[in-house]
């Protein structure tokens, strides 16, 4: 196996183009190395991105926030910018793996793996994020995150492309954010189910709502129909229950070693109602 260590983005894109499907990108390695050991993948070349410092940053721009693909999860968890503007993402980052994993794992790697239980995907979906990608063509393109995930471990990257950054519009100051994750243990748990909610209210009426789930479908998803039940209405207990029931219909969980499909379906409704209730109480 060839090991290639580009010093900048241009060299990395050139290597990706030259090796094609025979090469694989590695950054933190927390996803790829276990797959290599288990012989689930056997690339002819590993293209290591760890020296490309220009892809590791967290920046507040006019109207939005941009995070480089190589930004470690630990930096996201500790970011003062994100704690002020997008706390839901910090909370999800703090629950990803353990400190050693968080120091190595990167945002781009977590998203590119396209796991149904990807920890950062759920809050970013709730934040209306998009992924900026680039290939040999110098032009960059942005892919809305809800279109980036195509299925289990499948994403919208074309051959020769990699993730440059993630962008999301800056949430309004009055936005209420809640992230919840259920696992089989308190630490280092892969989600049985995860949930992110971003809610904005005005004069008792739901002005804007985003609901995202992880580990309940072949990919992280937005619950658009459940959102529509709340949008433009005063949120009552009956409406919360209707929203939870709709969420049960929108997901398509499976039974695996971490939990049953029916359990996940029931908990999606319970956690959603609980999260919305928590959001409504914030600043009340």
- Please report the pLDDT score of residue 33 as a whole number: 87
**CATH code for the domain in which residue 234 is found:** 3.30.390.50
159 lies in the same domain as 24? yes
What are the pLDDT digits (tens) for 111-138?
A: 999 999 999 999 999 999 999 999 977 7
Instruction: List the domain range (segments joined by +) for residue 153.
Output: 2-169
pLDDT of residue 48: 95
Best CA proximity match to 193, nearest among 110, 262, 145: 262
Q: Residues 38, 154: one domain?
A: yes
CA gap 77, 102 in Å, rounded: 9
Nearest CA to 61 out of 132, 161, 137, 145 is that of: 132
Whether the CB-CB separation of 273 and 243 falls below 8 Å is answered with yes
Q: How many CA atoms lie within 13 A of 143 on its CB side?
A: 20
Task: Print the SS3 string covering the chain.
Answer: CEEECCCCHHHHHHHHHHHHHHEEEECCCCCHHHHHHCCCCCCCEEEECCCCHHHCCEEEECCEEEEECCCEHHHHHHCHHHHHHCHHHHHHHHCCCCHHHHHHCEHHHHHHCCCCCCCCHHHHHHCCCEEEEECCCCCCEEEEHHHHEEECCEECCCCCCEEEEEEEECCCCCCEEEEEEECCCCCCCCCCEEEEEEEEEECCEEEEEEEEEECCCCCCEECHHHHHHHCCCECCHHHHHHHHHHHHHHCCCCCECCECHHHHHHHHHHHHHHHHHHHHHCCC
- The whole-number pLDDT of residue 279 equals 96
Indicate whether 36 and 151 sit together in one domain.
yes
Residue 14 sits in the same domain as residue 134: yes
| Domain finish residue from 112, 139, 169 | 169
- At 68 the pLDDT is 98
Tell me, yes or no, whether 143 and 212 share the same domain.
no
Do 17 and 119 reside in the same domain of the chain? Answer: yes
Residues 33 and 55 in one domain: yes
Query: What total number of domains does the chain contain?
Result: 2
**What does the pLDDT read at residue 257?**
83
pLDDT of residue 178: 97
**Which residues, given as ranges, of the chain have pLDDT below 50?**
none
Cβ-Cβ contacts under 8 Å for 138 (sequence gap 6 or more) = none
> Which residues are CB-neighbours of 247 under 8 A, at least 6 positions away?
211, 213, 223, 226, 268, 269, 272
How much is the pLDDT for 186? 57
The residues pairing with 167 across neighbouring beta strands, listed in sequence order, are: 66, 130
Residues 6 and 111 in one domain: yes
pLDDT at 258: 85
- Domain end marker among 138, 169, 200: 169
Residues 157 and 18 in one domain: yes
134, 154, 12, 102 alpha-carbon torsion, rounded to 10°: 110
The answer on 83 and 60 residing in a single domain is yes
**Same domain, residue pair 10 and 133:** yes
Domain end residue (candidates: 149, 169, 189): 169
pLDDT for position 112 = 95
Looking up residue 51, the CATH number of its domain turns out to be 3.30.465.10
Do 25 and 162 lie in one domain? The reply is yes
Between CA 269 and CA 271 the distance in angstroms is: 6
C-beta atoms surrounding 126 within 10 Å: 30
């Amino acid at each position: 196996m060839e090991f290639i260590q580009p010093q900048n983005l241009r060299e990395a894109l050139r290597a990706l183009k030259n090796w094609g499907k025979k090469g694989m990108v590695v950054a933190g390695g927390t996803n790829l190395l276990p797959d290599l050991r288990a012989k689930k993948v056997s690339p002819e070349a590993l293209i290591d991105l760890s020296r490309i410092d220009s892809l590791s940053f967290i920046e507040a721009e006019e109207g939005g926030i941009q995070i480089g693909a190589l930004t470690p999860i630990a930096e996201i968890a500790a970011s003062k910018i994100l704690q002020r503007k997008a706390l839901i993402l910090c909370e999800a980052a703090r629950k990803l793996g353990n400190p050693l994993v968080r120091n190595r794992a990167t945002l781009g790697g977590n998203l590119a793996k396209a796991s149904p239980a990807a920890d950062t995907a759920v809050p970013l979906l709730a934040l209306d994020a998009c992924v900026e990608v680039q290939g040999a063509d110098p032009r960059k393109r942005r892919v809305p995150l809800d279109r980036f995930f195509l299925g289990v471990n499948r994403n919208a990257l074309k051959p020769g492309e990699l993730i440059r950054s993630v962008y999301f519009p800056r949430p309004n100051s009055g936005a209420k954010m809640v992230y919840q994750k259920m696992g089989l243990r308190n630490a280092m748990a892969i989600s049985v189910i995860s949930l992110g909610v971003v809610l904005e209210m005005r004069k008792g009426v739901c002005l804007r709502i985003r609901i995202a789930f992880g580990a309940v479908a072949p990919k992280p998803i937005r619950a658009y129909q459940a959102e529509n039940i709340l949008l433009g209405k005063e949120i009552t207990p009956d409406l919360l229950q209707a929203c939870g029931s709709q969420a049960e219909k929108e997901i398509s969980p499976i039974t695996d070693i971490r939990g049953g499909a029916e359990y996940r379906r029931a908990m999606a409704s319970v956690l959603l109602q609980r999260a919305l209730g928590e959001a409504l109480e914030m600043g009340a």
